[in-house]
Amino acid sequence: MERAVTELVDGAPEGMAYIRPAEWPAPEPFIWFVLRDRQPARDGEQIAAYSIDRLSIEEPLSKFGEALRARDHDGMRKAVGELYDAHLNRTVWQIVHEFDRPRARDALEYLRRRYGEPYGRLWERHDELYLTWLAFRLADEYADYLRSGAGRELRTKEEAAGAIFMPWLPHELVPAFMYRLVGDEEGWGEFRAAWITALNMWFEGMAEPYTPKKPAVARKSGRALQRLHGRRPQVRGALPAASPEAGGGSRGRQTRDPKAGRARGREAGRGGEAGRSGEAG
């Protein structure tokens, strides 16, 4: 009886099964006990439960989200490590394709454009498909975090710099992650430059004028970062730029010493390099 229940759940095509206790020759509490490791939940007259394979993805994703909101870089790194190692399981791509099909289709299309191969051939790249899906999923989680306005509680430049850089992101995932986040595989440099400029505006009241090399990426980066911090600094073009009206008192006065501006940029940059010294970048 126990084996029949677990095999039904673990064999579910989308990684989730629905069991109607009335149809089983066993007390309902026994079924709940059997499914205790598969996150059972009441759904009307049915019990919904995850397969073990799907839980191997869902649980670290949940831990990553919690660590991201808590700005726990060690927790994020551990969760992403578990998710990354899952690509060694040859069936994991099929699992995520079933339970997260829209994002999985985006991963297929991304690799189709890269390799110019038909979808049937792409399925042979199951490990690369899974890692592309993972990069997209992490980017979407990160974008949700930026949109949440969580940065309003950050009080220092160091805290803000630590919230935005990503030492937890494996280098191999960076191109697909940035493509999903800002629309450009090589968008990390522009994203970082936008953040350093925004940091100087928010915490120093001024920043060196910056001309983006990728204006579209810079605009997307600027909008995302403004949502994170809940502030909208004065902008010139795509990014925050030096402005005498940026703040009150001495912080709002624009310096005429270019060396002073560069020094502040380097100070913010050191916070960014801490993130780049990790795996992302």
The per-residue pLDDT for range 99-127, each reduced to its tens digit, is 898 999 999 999 999 999 888 888 889 89
Q: Give residue 14's pLDDT band: very low, low, confident or very high (50, 70, 90).
A: low
Tokens of 105: 């289709």
User: How many other C-beta atoms are found inside a 10 Å radius of the C-beta of residue 211?
Assistant: 12
* pLDDT tens-place string over residues 25-34: 889 899 898 8
* Position 13, amino acid: P
Q: What are phi and psi of 49, to 5 degrees?
A: -145, 145
The average pLDDT across 2-16 equals 74
Tokens of 195: 């953040």
Q: Higher pLDDT residue, 242 or 217?
A: 217
Indicate if the pLDDT at residue 274 is higher than 50.
Answer: no
Rounded to an integer, what distance in angstroms lies between the CA atom of residue 65 and that of residue 62? 5
The secondary structure of the chain in percent helix, strand, coil, rounded to multiples of 5, reads 65, 5, 30
Strands 46-50 and 239-240: unpaired
Indicate if the pLDDT at residue 243 is higher than 50.
Answer: no
Q: Where are the domains of the chain?
A: 2-50, 55-148, 152-281
The predicted pLDDT at position 260 comes to 41
Contact present, 200 and 208 (Cβ < 8 Å) = yes
Highest mean pLDDT: which range of 42-56, 221-235, 249-263: 42-56
Q: Give residue 251's pLDDT band: very low, low, confident or very high (50, 70, 90).
A: very low
The predicted pLDDT at position 262 comes to 45
Q: Higher pLDDT residue, 2 or 179?
A: 179
Tokens of 24: 């089983």
Counting Cβ atoms within 10 Å, is residue 129 exposed (0-12), middle (13-18) or buried (19+)? buried
Q: Give residue 268's pLDDT band: very low, low, confident or very high (50, 70, 90).
A: very low
Contact present, 5 and 37 (Cβ < 8 Å) = no
The average pLDDT across 196-218 equals 78
Indicate if the pLDDT at residue 208 is higher than 90.
Answer: no
The predicted pLDDT at position 96 comes to 87
Alpha carbon 151 to chain centroid, angstroms? 16
Give the three-class secondary structure for 17.
strand
**Alpha-carbon separation of residue 97 from 13, 177, 264 (angstroms):** 10, 18, 46
**Alpha-carbon separation of residue 43 from 37, 88, 245 (angstroms):** 17, 33, 56
Indicate if the pLDDT at residue 50 is higher than 70.
Answer: yes
Q: Give residue 270's pLDDT band: very low, low, confident or very high (50, 70, 90).
A: very low
CA nearest to 261, candidates 13, 269, 159:
269
Q: Give residue 37's pLDDT band: very low, low, confident or very high (50, 70, 90).
A: low
The average pLDDT across 135-146 equals 93
Rounded to an integer, what distance in angstroms lies between the CA atom of residue 110 and that of residue 107? 5
Q: What are phi and psi of 240, to 5 degrees?
A: -60, 140
